[in-house]
Chains A and B, each alone.
Chain A
Amino acid sequence: MPRPEIHMITFTVDGREVRAPENAMLVDAAKLGDVEIPVFCYEPKLGQPVGACRMCLVEIEGIPKLQTGCSTPVKDGMVVITQSERVKEAQEAIVEFLLVNHPLDCPVCDKGGECPLQDISFGWGGGRSRFIEPKRHFEKPLALSPLIAIDRERCILCYRCVRFSQEISEDYQLILAERSADTYVSTFDGHPYVAPFSGNIIELCPVGALTSQPYRFRARPWDIEGAGSVCTLCPAQCNVELTVRDERVLRVLARQHPGVDDGWLCDKGRFAYQSVHVDERITRPMVREGGELRPVSWERALDEAAGALGRAGAQSAVLAGGGATNEEGYLLQRLAREAVGTPHVDSRAGGGPGRELAAALGAPALQATVPDLEHAHAVLVLETEPVDDMPIVDLRIRKGVRRNRVRLAVATPRPSSLDRNADVSVRYAPGCGEAFVAALSAMLGGEGKNVDELASSAGTTVEALRGVTGVLRGVEVGEGATGSDEAGPRDIVILWGERLTQGRRGAAAARGLLNVAARLRLGGREGAGLLEVPVAANGRGLREAGVLHDAGPGLSEPPHGEMAAIDGLELPDGLARGDLTTLLLWDAEVDAATLAAAGTVIAHAAFLTDALRAHATVVLPAESYAEKEGTVTHPDGRVQRLRPAIGRQGGVRPGWQVLADLMARVGATQDPADPGAGDPRVLTGPMASRQLFEAVPVYAGLTLEELGGRGVRWPAREQAAAWPRADAGPFGLEVPPGPVKANGDLRLGTFRSIWAGPEVGHSPALRFLVPKPRVEMAPADAQRRNVTQGDHVTVGHNGAALHATVVLRDAVPRGTVFVETDALRAGPVDVRKAPPRAGPPAPDPAEAPS
């Protein structure tokens, strides 16, 4: 639903006239008049107040009894008193009451020093207790999960954690067990509370009842410094505050930004900081000598890398990925194009639509923002699983559906965790996203006769499609929707995964998506549009910085003109053919076979994978996001600034410096007559940022000061007019290829869970979450193949196979299996029972899936 209008009213608090939005809760409204009302249970992020703790009692003229300030909406002319004797007496009584069972073990409690209960007892409490009876006792300390410690004696039963679990993350695990004086927080069945967002309850808890296990007893608030930055472990780019003590990151807290994360963090973002300080991290450059990688000096490693790149020239390829910053991306493409002289630069290992279509999809008029998700009329989740690909957006969608009654349609091959919240959820065959958008476009365009055929080639049904269009058009489910939009354009946000436009037919899928957007008239509409979920954490920023095979900075014409460039998708073929000999990987992951085909592999990475250990020639240590300086671009166009929180570990050097050094060296070897030719003149991080802002037209005029801690959405700036114009359709669509004929085999769909990635595997606290290789399949399929839950099977076809454990899921459509892997391409696969092995498969959890 569109954002509600805000009426301002005037009310009086403690004799002050205060202007506040009508129906804001008194606690918030009073703050506008600099009056603080103490609260424990109230937290605006959690939605409707519950009034559980009674700490916020205030006197309101005309109401005989004291009222809870957290659940009383403010009205015009209200007169509120927070300083009277009655209120003071009530507050002191409540504090005394809350402390009846509180153990007051502040010296050993991790919350001590940053504890609202301490602060409020000090500020509003009476200072003495009349209670001499024994307090209630629980076993402590207890692990609520491997990440969270629970101390039930300290709990004041404010309901915050339970409300989070029930109403925000909707995992429904935490409850208050027992009643009245025996109440305690627990999971329903006593199992550990393991969920993608569980760590948020640590930050929510107003006392020390829920504390972080990895942070347990590590530091006190006066020992630490907070360093604001941005988490670059996934495209959500949540704003975080890193807690630093003695040059070590000890904790990650949310830095509330309504435009990005809404104040929540996923457990990956909250706990994967541990991978910054592990021994496995590469902190020195390495060069292969005698078949083994050996630590060498930076000079040696840079010379080797520059030499290899210079010799290979146009036979070298550059692939960027992961959390590489915009600056690194910009310098990387300069290194490739200006110094090395190769056009083979890309940041999309899976390929993607060409420059024109990328420009059309990224057009400022067509971009939705993250907050639009919660205020739209309808949201379509397309070919992405938000909780895996961009976790924090999952919470935003749930919030919209729960609080603003956003209509939600989910269209994915794999069963989604949002299915339960969706008005309609549609499954289509894996890899048939193109056919699905084509069918959807035909449906919206009223091309009735095409729809049948397209729906079946997408592996879905016309009824399902009608459901989706119904949600998008705002018609009741089941009524069926016609192609036209009688109700006029609506605020619709399409959250689509970049995987939709990957692969060889990516361009066709992109055209289909643009058609859908055009038919829904999303262009230029405030609060509506497309929101992409890129595969790489800074996918959008790297593209805008010019790390594309067919586009320069700002998606401009590539400087090498017509020279045919090999993109990320063709890279393995290019290496196999011998067109390419040298590969520079910048935070990008490539499978071992591709690396084996390259003569020289220069990898800039934080961790050694098996593939790198076997095939890398030069390894340059990469910074962690806690050490990085630069900017990244959020999928909705918000340019955000990374600030270093700690010194670089070991011999790690900043990415911009490494690239500038490489550029200088390669340039020098290329043209000895003009040593200044390759001079990149990047001496500091901000210089790299300035070069980037000058080179990318839509970033023109940005400064690091302007970005500050909140970032700037470039599509909302004037300079967005410089975005290249591109034909946004509607296009005539080719007939998409149908689903893979399985011929008795199963169709393979792949995914990447939130716990994938080296940062999780290398964080001691998160290691238990790294999933074992598993294959999700429908029970009926499993029965036919005579396998069952927990069996070890091989999944594969034509030689390529991997071992996995069967997980039965009713929601998986028949005929399809899902495996978390990048190793197998979509296609028919066979699932066979694995021959019994001598020992149980014991993959190193750190290495298991990558």
Chain B
Amino acid sequence: EDLSVVGSWSGLPLHKQYEAPFWTETLPEASGGEINVALTTHDQMNLGVGDVYRLLGDGVYDVGMTVADYAVADAPELEGLDVPLLALTADEAKAMVDAARPMVTDIYHDRFNSHVLAIAPYPPQVVFCNAEISGLADLEGKKVRASGRMTAKFLEALGAEGVNVSFSEVPGALQKGVVDCAVTGAGSGYSAGWWEVSTHLLPIPLGGWDSVVTAVNLDKWNALSDEMKTLIQDQITENFETPAWETAQTALEDDIACLTGNGECAAGDARSMTLVEASDADFERAREVLVTEVLPEWKERAGDEWIARWNDSVGQTVGVTIE
């Protein structure tokens, strides 16, 4: 069986540590040589991030994976997979994803003609500021760069000014005050040198966990034998998804250590950003903003049916009900 696989960002650890070994070594070996994989990544193909699942559904390749949030343009109901600040630890994020999984499976089935195989996390999207902040409340009035609709709306609801800057221009924009703060993965921020141009780190998942969904074209999936389906599903859960989640929490702690110098940094030199703790009051306020403004807005986009499903699944897990 030949599979053409399009992976997530080639430069990030998820691809290098888990995706690439799984698809090129683990799975072909487990199949006893029956499965041959041709692996590339969407950035190497120069695909628009929003196109990955569109092309997957069209059968341009067999398996695709990218951040689910990139696909919400075509499926607003998918925003519910990754709501900011509802999951603070990897375990909570995993519980949220597991609760959302049946919903996500149906969304991919209907919108993208594909079948969900796995949902793995990128490190959570945290806040880098080149301005003194002592908590979430201080973001009010600041110019903040964020990607993704729900995060941007959330920041707006907090009273921050959303500014559009492409990822590569963030360091310059932070340094020069085009933006005061920017949201990205702690690891990406470390390797992209954001610590050079920012002083304060607020390590709470303001941009959510950026779940990466691995999906297979539905026609391809249906044409596989039952044994093959079971093999692929078992292998990917055991050797890709589970290990990726297991390291997620420690990866975040390592990245924070690297950025702030509080602890060992295996990735390189530790930096000395100021670690800002979010207070309980911060979280309460965040939750209130989410429940009263951001999530009801999402309801308008996604429709009542999906919201009811979300309330019964993810909402129960995190203790939030959208009215």
The answer to whether A and B assemble together is no
Name B's A-contacting residues (CB within 8 A): none
Name A's B-contacting residues (CB within 8 A): none
